[in-house]
Structure 1
Amino acid sequence: MSDISMQDSRYEANMGDYFALLKPRVMSLVVFTALVGLLVAPVPVHPFIGFVAILCIAVGAGASAALNMWWDADIDRLMKRTATRPIPSGRVEPGEALGIGMALSGFAVVLLWLATNFLAAFLLAFTIFFYAVVYSMYLKRSTPHNIVIGGAAGAFPPMIGWAVATGGVSIESILMFGLIFMWTPPHFWALALFVKSDYGRAGVPMLTETHGRDATRRQVLIYTIALVPVALGLGFTSIGGPVYLAVAVVMNLWFLKGAIDISRRDDAACEADKHKVEINVFKVSLYYLFAHFLALLLEAALRQYGIGGW
């Protein structure tokens, strides 16, 4: 086949392929938690400035995702869950993903700095760096604690939102960070328990691969127990209140029960019901985080009418 005919048969990426590089489902969670961090802050933000700030945070999250996909293209090809991503499937060239990630990173950080303040821009830049370099290039392939430490990248958005409004950091933003940070390990390990073969095939040192499933089940329980006081403690700050605390109690009991159920299982039970418990706990973990941040948002709305908070 001639070079010309090969070029003619080459797949041409469309906007949907490039958008998929930004991991839109993950971006939606980032945008939501960042928006809550901005809206619950004690300092009001002009709607237009707030819109620009959230846009920058979303673009920054998408940029780090594109850089992650560029770096992880080799292992993404080996996992069923990621084999259809734009780069391993051949829809987007690696160089394109790298260029998009770098360009969007610069755009998001600079615009956020100009529109808001240095701290917010610095936190966004650090988040992109941490996810793309510290987590993707080092932690993910070198240690079973990749998810524990790497979870910080996904925990920064509400802190960035808070910094946009206040220009600073406080116990409230630290606890919002801590909520996501402590939630991340049991959330991802529940996933790893039923996609174990994918990580093993790609050579990723997930805890299930390096320490086994029994150890992973115990760690899910340990981190869920450690998560509870962080989640409940947030309810006693200036952005908490009875509504948040009620939601937190219910969700933490639900999540904790799931973690206990996982810790009591063995491989035979998992194979028998096709990981039904692990899949359900993973789903609960998604509801868990959304419910907590939605409750914070509701508390902020109620305070506008003088009936929220303590």
Structure 2
Amino acid sequence: MAVIEHHEAANGTGEVYLSEAGARDFFALLKPRVMSLVVFTAFAGLVVAPGTINPAIGLIAILCIAVGAGASGALNMWYDADIDAIMSRTARRPVPAGRIQPREALAFGLTLSAFSVVILGLAVNWVSAALLAFTIFFYAVVYTIWLKRSTPQNIVIGGAAGAFPPMIGWACVTGGVSIESVVLFLITFLWTPPHFWALALFKMRDYEAVGVPMLPNVSGEATTKVQILVYAVLTAIIAVVPTFLGFASTGYGVIAAVLGAGFVWYAVGVFRMPDGDRAMVPAKKLFAFSIVYLFAIFSALMLDHLVASFGWVA
């Protein structure tokens, strides 16, 4: 639905124009694909946490986390509109495409941020609300405004923002943070670099065009491929730790080990990929599998918890 907006022209006369922004454009500001992953891992943290939570409160918690994640995406699109307009992957986003004004995206993001944190604090607990507020701040300010354009380690450090949701879900149930929730955090944290560096390999020209210092552009393909393999191995290792800590079964450990072996296998494929290979097929395969991997790991954790809760596993 189009919206009519009034603006003051430079000469002081009122100027009216028809905005092309619609509900779909504002929904796109929330980065729904990224938000779906955030919601899923947060839900997993809520499910596997010890204790119980009222289903209605649990639903409110997940909705608040989803809104907070979407708010982060809107703030990211507001600040990155200049480089998004140049990159082929992002040029059609609402702000660079001109369908939503930057100030609208900023106001939208700030409003949703405040709403999500306050409601989560009032309805659930303030520990989870504080973690959500910190996550939004970390993604919008620490990663987007500071790290993304200043260091090739942007994804490594900034990846913490995407790793907090399962910890937030855990805190919604327990009211605190524990070693188990830290492990859930680390699974996503260590998974993020190989996932995004695989994307960066076959989108090097885009990042080069906008001056974002992604690792392949700064340190080269060879270094990036080594780092991808190292982080893939670390991810595979940390994913089986829940079994050793006792909050997942041996069955889960086997599944995690198999999935981890697959993750490392695809990373080895990238490692063996010749430098300068423009097809980048192994990198694209790793990127695709990495998404499946993370969903599968957290699905296995939830299934394992549900099976154990019904007493089917000793």
Q: Distance in 1 between matches of 2:152 and 2:216?
A: 8
Using structure 1 for the length normalisation, give the TM-score.
0.95
Does the Cα contact within 8 Å between 1:239 and 1:296 map onto a contact in 2?
Answer: no
Counterpart among 76, 80, 83 of residue 75 in structure 1: 83
Counterpart among 208, 216, 222 of residue 200 in structure 1: 208
Task: Please give the residue correspondences for 1:117-156 in structure 2 after superposition, counting only pairs within 5 Å.
Answer: 117-156=125-164
Counterpart check, 1:254 vs 2:262:
yes
SS at match of 2:237: helix
Does the Cα contact within 8 Å between 2:236 and 2:263 map onto a contact in 1?
Answer: no
Q: Distance in 2 between matches of 1:244 and 1:237?
A: 12
Q: Distance in 2 between matches of 1:239 and 1:18?
A: 39
Q: Distance in 2 between matches of 1:52 and 1:237?
A: 30
Q: Distance in 2 between matches of 1:235 and 1:73?
A: 43
Counterpart check, 1:275 vs 2:275:
no
Letter in 2 for 1:277: P
Does the Cα contact within 8 Å between 2:273 and 2:282 map onto a contact in 1?
Answer: no
Which structure has more helix as a fraction of its residues? 1
For 1:284, the equivalent position in structure 2 comes to: 289
Q: Distance in 2 between matches of 1:34 and 1:240?
A: 17
Does the Cα contact within 8 Å between 1:63 and 1:128 map onto a contact in 2?
Answer: yes
Counterpart check, 1:300 vs 2:308:
no
Counterpart among 26, 42, 48 of residue 18 in structure 1: 26
Counterpart among 47, 51, 74 of residue 55 in structure 2: 47
Deviations 1:223-261 (A, max 9, x none): 112222211112223431123212211111111111112
SS at match of 1:204: coil
Q: Distance in 2 between matches of 1:149 and 1:172?
A: 21
Task: Please give the residue correspondences for 1:41-190 in structure 2 after superposition, counting only pairs within 5 Å.
Answer: 41-190=49-198
Q: Distance in 2 between matches of 1:292 and 1:235?
A: 12
Number of residue pairs the alignment of both structures matches: 303
* Ranges in structure 1 where 5+ consecutive residues have no aligned partner: none
Structure 1 stretches of at least 4 aligned residues deviating more than 6 Å after TM superposition: none
Q: Distance in 2 between matches of 1:292 and 1:237?
A: 16
Q: Percent identity?
A: 54
For 1:223, the equivalent position in structure 2 comes to: 231
* Ranges in structure 2 where 5+ consecutive residues have no aligned partner: 1-8
Q: Distance in 2 between matches of 1:305 and 1:21?
A: 40
Q: CA deviation at 1:304?
A: 2.1
